Amino acid sequence: MNICGVLVHVAPDMAEEVAAAIRRIPGGEVHDFKENGRLVVTLEDTADAAAFDGLTSIHRLPGVIAATLVYHHFESGHEDTDAHVIMEA
């Protein structure tokens, strides 16, 4: 399991479009959306894509000013452990 917490800063007039594009990235989820153009995002590994590939995709989206990795969690696949992500915007 691989989880990345990302703070994405976008041009405010592009925020809705960027949020929609992030939701289309495999394993991408937008958790918070601020009017000032800041998005709180998590990316998880999927069967088809690595979470870090999602971060690269975010950087390439039109309207993105910066995307910063603020949290990273990796587990080697042990079934008896759980990962918990707690983020504040």
Return the pLDDT at 80.
47
> Looking up tokens 């949290």, which residue turns up?
71
pLDDT digits (tens, 9 = 90+) for 28-81: 999 998 888 999 999 999 988 888 899 999 999 999 999 999 998 888 765 544
pLDDT digits (tens, 9 = 90+) for 6-23: 999 999 999 999 999 999
- Delimit the domains of the chain by residue range: 2-74
Cα–Cα distance measured from residue 4 to residue 13, given in angstroms and rounded to the nearest whole number:
25
CATH class, 2-74 region: alpha beta
Closest Cα to residue 67, out of 28, 10, 25, 3? 10
* 6-37 burial: b if 16+ Cβ within 10 Å, else e: bbbbbeeebbeebbebbeebbbbebeebeeeb
47 token code pair: 């069967």
pTM for this predicted structure: 0.80
